[in-house]
Amino acid sequence: MLLSILLAAATAPQAAAPVEAPQEINYDQGQLGFAAMQTGRNEEAIRQLESSSAELPNDPARLINLGNAYARMGRMEEARATLRRAVELQEHFDLVLADGRVVDSRRAAIYALDRLNGRQTMQVAGN
């Protein structure tokens, strides 16, 4: 199964407080396609991610999610090209993954690309 690295974190529930929906940290709602990908609406996620390309052309979080969304839709060449672009970016920074782990964006992109290509890699952990 293809790994989906969804780049956001769920807010931590407080005692007796309702659990909030996952959100895109430091991004406008929809810029990373997070909610759409979480609910299997991959075409919608692709539309959101592609429409935010003018504002975030070289954002590794956007590119990783876009690559994963392409892969989920069977658009493998586009997925590989997008993930390679995320790997090759000069800029990289820590990302908060859907499970709450913090990982360097380049490491996350390499891991996603390796998984897409069927290569075994070490767990995406730490920086």
Q: Is residue 62 part of a domain?
A: yes
**How do residues 4-19 score in pLDDT, each as one tens digit?**
455 543 222 333 333 4
Whether 37 and 69 have beta carbons less than 8 Å apart is answered as: yes
Total tally of structural domains belonging to the chain: 1
Sign, Cα dihedral of 35, 108, 74, 53? positive
Q: Supply the pLDDT for residue 96.
A: 86
- 97 assigned to some structural domain: yes
CATH code of the domain in which 49 resides: 1.25.40.10
Residue 65: inside a domain: yes
- The reported pTM is 0.77
| Domain extent for 67 | 34-116
60 within some domain: yes
d(CA 23, CA 16): 20
Question: Does residue 75 form part of some domain?
Answer: yes
pLDDT in tens, 30-65: 899 999 999 999 999 999 999 999 999 999 999 999
Mean pLDDT of 108-118: 93
Judge whether 72 lies within some domain: yes
* Residue 87 is assigned to a structural domain of this protein: yes
Paired with 3 in beta bridges are: none
14 within a domain of the structure (yes/no)? no
